[in-house]
Amino acid sequence: MTRRRVVASALCLALALTASGCAGGPDLTPVLRQNFADPDVLQVDGAYIAYSSDGNRRNVPVATSDDLRSWEMQDDALPDLPSWIIPGKTWAPEVTEISPGRFVMYFTATNFQPTFQCIGVAVADDPLGPFTVQGDEMLVCPPEEGGAIDATTVEVDGEWHLVWKNDGNAVGVDTWIQTAPLTSDGLALAGEPVKMLKQDQAWEGDLIEAPTVVAHEEGGFTLLYSANSYGGDEYAMGYAVADELAGPWEKADGPWVSTESLDEQVRGPGGQDVVTGPDGESWLVFHGWDASYTYRMLHAAPLTWEERAPRLGG
């Protein structure tokens, strides 16, 4: 979920780290009524390209739009997996234009050995793919931490950084959001991981995941994340703020987007991304379950900022 710099509107005199509901009353109608979980949205030449976790017989489903509201499905962006990856669990892709005309995908998949969900890397000259997996092993795969999932990127002072979650809940350890710089080609880490924050609030349950980092033009960062069990109403979005990417990070108290705050119009909202909309303002894209909890649909809504605090609704 590649972060671009955004301008935060100074709507209040001071940042109050309280997780309030959305007062703007955004349109919460799904913009894509099919399974499209963990969305990542990339803007290229005025068009929007959305990628999701596997489904619909695709490893990485892709949809395109001109306005974030009407979407058209495209071919699989990652049609071929190498023999060392177990098919059927390709999750949470992140596509970054690491340099002009060169697109790098960071995806979550399962190794045959060790059998953990970990982060792999693939490249393409076209954002629609097909992407080609690079190397013969995962980019980030710490077995002692349960593996690694949910990659995102953020550019800081001209240098790209990878951000991810160690899959600690798979092995009974803490889930940390972590970061490390990338090499100039985006294919390897260029430094040791730094731990940013972990689950430590009751509403988060046993895990936090799905990081999205926003670098603000006036300085500082906002980290959006999802927490708790993804398959129920308790799944929700939290946020934290920091002056530097490495922290220290200060969390808001409680979730800022949840089933309750959305008046149950969206169930289990999460897997969020931030993109600049056609209006030049920030938009939040995220998934939410249908009423029967059968599949996760794509939603998009205007996003405003009170200093570095996100607020849903225009």
Tell whether the model's pLDDT for residue 9 goes beyond 70: no
Tell whether the model's pLDDT for residue 13 goes beyond 60: no
Confidence category of residue 27, pLDDT binned at 50, 70, 90:
confident
Mean pLDDT of the 238-258 span: 98
**272: its two tokens:** 């969020």
The class (CATH top level) of 40-312 is mainly beta
Across 15-29, 218-232, 244-258, least confident range: 15-29
Neighbours of 268 (CB within 10 A): 22
Angle at 96 between CA 93 and CA 101, to 5 degrees: 130
pLDDT in tens, 93-151: 999 999 999 999 999 999 887 789 999 999 999 999 999 999 999 999 999 999 999 99
User: Measuring CA to CA, which residue among 243, 191, 200 is closest to residue 225?
Assistant: 200
Confirm if 286 and 269 have CB atoms less than 8 A apart. yes
Mean pLDDT of the 234-257 span: 98
Q: What pLDDT is stored for residue 112 in this prediction? A: 84
Q: What pLDDT is stored for residue 288 in this prediction? A: 98
pLDDT in tens, 201-223: 999 999 999 999 999 999 999 99
Spatial strand order of the sheet with 148-156 comes to 148-156, 159-166, 176-181, 194-198
Tell whether the model's pLDDT for residue 185 goes beyond 60: yes
Mean pLDDT of the 86-90 span: 92
Spatial strand order of the sheet with 132-133 comes to 85-99, 102-111, 117-124, 132-133
Residue 86 amino acid letter = I
Q: What pLDDT is stored for residue 313 in this prediction? A: 87
- Alpha-carbon gap, residue 271 to 50, rounded angstroms: 13
- Alpha-carbon gap, residue 251 to 17, rounded angstroms: 7
The domain limits of the chain are 40-312
Higher pLDDT, 112 or 43: 43
Mean pLDDT of the 225-230 span: 98
- Alpha-carbon gap, residue 192 to 206, rounded angstroms: 25
**22: its two tokens:** 């959305």
**62: its two tokens:** 């892709």
**156: its two tokens:** 């800081």
Tell whether the model's pLDDT for residue 10 goes beyond 60: no
Phi-psi bin for 147: left (phi > 0), alpha (psi -120 to 50), beta? left
**What's this model's pTM, rounded to 2 decimal places?**
0.92
Quote the mean pLDDT of the chain.
92
Confirm if 129 and 109 have CB atoms less than 8 A apart. no
Residue 12 amino acid letter = C
- Alpha-carbon gap, residue 74 to 79, rounded angstroms: 12
**Residues contacting 51, CB < 8 A, separation 6+:** 39, 40, 41, 42, 60, 61, 62, 77, 93, 94, 95, 105
Confidence category of residue 314, pLDDT binned at 50, 70, 90:
low
Mean pLDDT of the 76-104 span: 96
Residue 151 amino acid letter = A
Mean pLDDT of the 10-34 span: 60
